[in-house]
């Protein structure tokens, strides 16, 4: 059986004012009205032969996450609580150690970020199944997506023969990203991975033994209550902060890439949600109690009041009970700056 490992550590500050410190984006029903991104991520794995999931998240979100798992019928899980996130390499290493302890070091881990949207479940299932044989040969399997733009926030993979990874470049410069896109030879790294626990831990120890040692040390001192696995704050804070992409996927010789051809979206900011959603005749996405007259290309979402928009275009308007965002859609990345100011200026 495959063990779903869900990375649910981020807050998603670019989706303010809907996302908040205590209500992270993966816990919100952003795309689907019924289920949060986290719940959808777990539900997506159920067509595969899976064991109880492991969720790695911030300790502040433990009750919300436990409750969300329970409400979709997950009876047993391991919820690993990070006092403070150290990025994805340590988070996945914690899950790998937990897998070795609760299953075996041969067990296959399917690492899934909790903030992706995938609608084509058949394509997802078929792609994962295709990767299983490679992972059983101790490969670290990534899933490659056709790139659409010179995005600098993603990893780029050049594939060789027989699923080999010829090159893995995490977050390249814009010039490089553009060249990769133009060459037609690169895929985006989807951020999902399939590997045996021991294959990942072996490569982590080979390339970043400092991270491996620090995580192992912290994990050995864990405490457990119910489904929660608590990691010691003092020990975990000594772990270097790094992503799996830089720490392992770039340097390893054991990477393989399986192309993923279904739909896939990393919902990072409001413009990504706009791009993903179904639009009306004026290219607007209107959610909740919203009226638009002569508006176009807008994303408008209301939580608690009627929101009316007249004659505007390319705006994002997000209304909540205590904060309203009005933004040029092309500025979606800059919401972070407001969140930062709210923290410092009150």
What are the residues binding ligand GDD (CB under 6 A)?
7-10, 56-57, 82, 85-88, 91, 113-115, 153-155, 170, 188-191, 245, 266
Q: How far is the CB of 90 from ligand GDD (least distance, A)?
A: 7
Beta bridge partners of 55: 6, 79
By a kind-dependent CB cut-off of 5 to 8 A, residue 150 interacts, out of ligand GDD, Mg ion, none, with: none
78 vs 87 by CB, closer to ligand GDD: 87
77 vs 87 by CB, closer to Mg ion: 87
By a kind-dependent CB cut-off of 5 to 8 A, residue 28 interacts, out of ligand GDD, Mg ion, none, with: none
Q: Which of residues 260-279 bind Mg ion (CB under 5 A)?
A: 266
By a kind-dependent CB cut-off of 5 to 8 A, residue 319 interacts, out of Mg ion, ligand GDD, none, with: none
Give Dmax over CA atoms of the chain in angstroms: 61
Closest-approach residue to Mg ion (CB): 266
11 vs 317 by CB, closer to Mg ion: 11
By a kind-dependent CB cut-off of 5 to 8 A, residue 88 interacts, out of Mg ion, ligand GDD, none, with: ligand GDD
Q: How far is the CB of 11 from ligand GDD (least distance, A)?
A: 8
9 vs 202 by CB, closer to Mg ion: 9
Q: How far is the CB of 266 from Mg ion (least distance, A)?
A: 5
| CA–CA gap between residue 166 and residue 172 (Å, rounded) | 16
82 vs 266 by CB, closer to Mg ion: 266
| CA–CA gap between residue 156 and residue 169 (Å, rounded) | 5
Q: How far is the CB of 113 from ligand GDD (least distance, A)?
A: 3
Is the preceding omega at residue 5 within 30 degrees of 0, hence cis?
A: no
Please check whether residue 6 is in contact with residue 27, taking contact to mean a CB–CB distance below 8 angstroms: no
| CA–CA gap between residue 325 and residue 316 (Å, rounded) | 7
Q: How far is the CB of 113 from Mg ion (least distance, A)?
A: 6
25 vs 254 by CB, closer to Mg ion: 25
Helices 88-102 and 197-207, packing angle to 10 deg = 140
By a kind-dependent CB cut-off of 5 to 8 A, residue 314 interacts, out of Mg ion, ligand GDD, none, with: none
142 vs 302 by CB, closer to Mg ion: 142
Q: How far is the CB of 344 from ligand GDD (least distance, A)?
A: 22
Give the CA angle between residues 322, 325, 327 to the nearest 5°.
Answer: 175
| CA–CA gap between residue 171 and residue 175 (Å, rounded) | 11
The residue with tokens 């899934």 is 112
Give residues with Cβ within 8 angstroms of 26, minimum separation 6.
8, 10, 12, 36, 37, 38, 41, 114, 115
Closest-approach residue to ligand GDD (CB): 9
Please check whether residue 114 is in contact with residue 37, taking contact to mean a CB–CB distance below 8 angstroms: yes
Render 114-147 in DSSP notation, one character per residue: TTEE---HHHHHHHHHHHHHHHHTT-EEEEEE--
Q: How far is the CB of 58 from ligand GDD (least distance, A)?
A: 7
Which of 142, 179, 174, 176 is closest to 157 using CA atoms? 142
Instruction: Report the interface residues with Mg ion, using CB under 5 A.
Output: 266
């Amino acid at each position: 059986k495959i063990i779903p490992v869900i990375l649910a550590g981020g807050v998603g500050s670019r989706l303010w004012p809907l996302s908040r410190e205590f209500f992270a984006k993966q816990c919100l029903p952003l795309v689907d009205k019924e289920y949060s991104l986290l719940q959808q991520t777990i539900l997506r794995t159920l067509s595969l032969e899976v064991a109880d999931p492991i969720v790695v998240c911030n300790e502040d979100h433990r009750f919300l996450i436990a409750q969300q798992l329970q409400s979709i019928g997950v009876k047993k899980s391991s919820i690993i609580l990070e006092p403070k996130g150290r990025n994805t390499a340590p988070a996945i290493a914690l899950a790998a150690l937990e897998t070795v302890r609760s299953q075996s070091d041969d067990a296959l881990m399917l690492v899934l970020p909790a903030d992706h949207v995938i609608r084509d479940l058949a394509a997802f299932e078929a792609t994962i199944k295709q990767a299983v044989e490679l992972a059983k040969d101790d490969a670290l399997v990534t899933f490659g997506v056709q790139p659409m733009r010179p995005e600098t926030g993603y990893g780029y993979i050049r594939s060789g023969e027989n699923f080999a990874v010829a090159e893995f470049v995490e977050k390249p410069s814009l010039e490089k990203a553009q060249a990769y896109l133009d060459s037609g030879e690169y895929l985006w790294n989807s951020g999902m991975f399939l590997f045996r626990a021991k294959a990942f831990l072996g490569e982590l120890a080979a390339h970043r033994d400092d991270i491996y040692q620090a995580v192992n040390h912290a994990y050995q001192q864990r405490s457990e209550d119910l489904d929660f696995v608590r990691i010691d704050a003092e020990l975990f804070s000594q772990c270097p902060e790094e992503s799996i992409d830089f720490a392992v996927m770039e340097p390893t010789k054991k990477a393989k890439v399986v192309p993923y051809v279904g739909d896939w979206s990393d919902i990072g900011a409001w413009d990504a949600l706009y791009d993903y959603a179904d639009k009306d005749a004026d290219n607007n996405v209107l959610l909740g109690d919203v009226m638009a007259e002569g508006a176009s290309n807008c994303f408008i979402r209301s939580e608690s009041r009627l929101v009316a928009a007249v004659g505007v275009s390319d705006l994002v308007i997000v209304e909540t009970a205590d904060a309203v965002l009005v933004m040029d859609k092309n500025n979606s990345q800059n919401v972070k700056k407001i969140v930062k100011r709210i923290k410092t200026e009150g």
